[in-house]
A and B are shown apart, each in its own frame.
Chain A
Amino acid sequence: MIFSFDLLINALVSGILIGGFYAAVTSGVSLAFGILDIVNIAHPAFIILGSYVAYIVNETFGLDPILTAIVVMPLFYLLGAGIYQVYYVSFEKRGQESLRGLAFFFGLLFITEVSLVLYFGVDYRYVNAAYIGPTWHLGVVEIPLRLLVPCVVGLLLIAALQLTLTRSFIGRAIMAVAQDQLALRLMAVDPIRIKRIAFGISIATASLAGACLIIIQPVEPSVGREYIGRVFAICVLGGLGSLPGAVLAAMLIGIVESLTSTFYGPSWAPAVSFGFLLLTLAVRPAGLMGR
Chain B
Amino acid sequence: MTVRTPTFLLICLIVVVAVFAASVAIGNDYVFFAGYVILQYVVLSTAWNILGGYCGYVNFGTAGFFALGAYSTVAIYKFTTGDDASFPISVSIPVLMLVGGVVSGVIGFGMGYLTLRLRGAFFSIATLALAVVLETLVVNWDYVGGSRGAYIIRPEEIAPIGNYIRYLFLIMMLLAVAAITVARLIEHSRLGYGFATIRDDELAAEASGVPTLRLKLIATTISGALMGMAGAPFPYYISYLQPDSTFALDYAVNSIAMPLIGGTTTWAGPLIGAILLGSLQQIATVTISSAVNLLLVGCLLVGFVIVAPNGIVGLVRSYWQRKPEEFVGRRRIDADAPGSVP
CA distance A233 to B257 in the complex (A): 25
Q: Is the Cβ of A103 less than 8 Å from the Cβ of B136?
A: no
A179 at the interface (CB under 8 A from B): no
The interface size bin for chain B is: 35 or more
Task: Determine the distance from Cα of A11 to Cα of B139 in the docked complex, in whole angstroms.
Answer: 23
Would you call B118 and A108 a contact (CB within 8 A)?
no
A271-B132 in contact (CB<8A): yes
Please determine whether A39 and B124 come into contact, CB atoms closer than 8 angstroms: yes
Stretch at the interface among B153-161, B174-182, B222-230, B298-306: B298-306
**Chain A residues whose C-beta falls within 8 Å of the C-beta of B256 in the assembled complex:** 103, 106
Q: How far is the CB of B340 from chain A (nearest CB, A)?
A: 15
**A-side contacts of B120, CB under 8 Å:** 98
Q: Verify if B137 is at the interface (C-beta below 8 Å from A).
A: yes
A225 lies within 8 A of B249 (CB): yes
The answer, yes or no, to whether B264 is at the interface (CB within 8 Å) is yes
Which residue of A has the minimal Cβ distance to B52? A99
Q: Which of A94, A108, A225, A226 contacts B302 (CB 8 A)?
A: A108
Task: Specify which of B294, B305, B306 is in contact with A114 (CB 8 Å cutoff).
Answer: B294
B260 at interface, CB cutoff 8 A: yes
B291, A117: Cβ atoms closer than 8 Å: yes
A277 touches B299 (CB 8 A): no
Q: Are A94 and B309 in contact (CB under 8 A)?
A: yes
**How far is the CB of B37 from the nearest CB of chain A, in Å?**
18
The answer to whether B306 touches A267 (Cβ under 8 A) is no
A281–B121 CA distance with the chains assembled, in angstroms: 11
Whether the Cβ atoms of A271 and B301 lie closer than 8 Å is no
Known: A39-B121, A271-B133, A281-B122. A103 touches B298 (CB 8 A): no
CA of A281 to CA of B133, assembled, Å:
15
- Give, as a whole number of angstroms, the nearest-CB distance from A116 to chain B: 10
B-side contacts of A270, CB under 8 Å: 132, 135-136
A274 interfacial contact with B, CB 8 Å: yes
Residue in chain B with minimal CB distance to A222 = B249
Q: In the complex, how many angstroms separate the beta carbon of B134 from the nearest chain A beta carbon?
A: 9
Closest to A37 in B: B121
Closest CB-CB distance, B171 to chain A, in whole Å?
A: 30
Q: What would 21 A/B residue contacts be, using CB atoms closer than 8 Å?
A: A39-B121, A96-B309, A98-B58, A102-B58, A103-B256, A107-B253, A107-B301, A109-B298, A110-B298, A226-B132, A229-B125, A229-B129, A267-B140, A268-B140, A270-B135, A270-B136, A271-B132, A277-B125, A277-B129, A281-B126, A282-B114
Inter-chain pairs besides A108-B302, A267-B139, A268-B136, 4 sampled, C-beta below 8 Å? A106-B60, A107-B302, A274-B129, A274-B132
A interface residue numbers (CB < 8 A to B): 33, 39, 41, 86, 90-91, 94, 96, 98-100, 102-104, 106-111, 114-115, 117-118, 225-226, 228-229, 232-233, 236, 267-268, 270-271, 273-275, 277-278, 281-282, 285
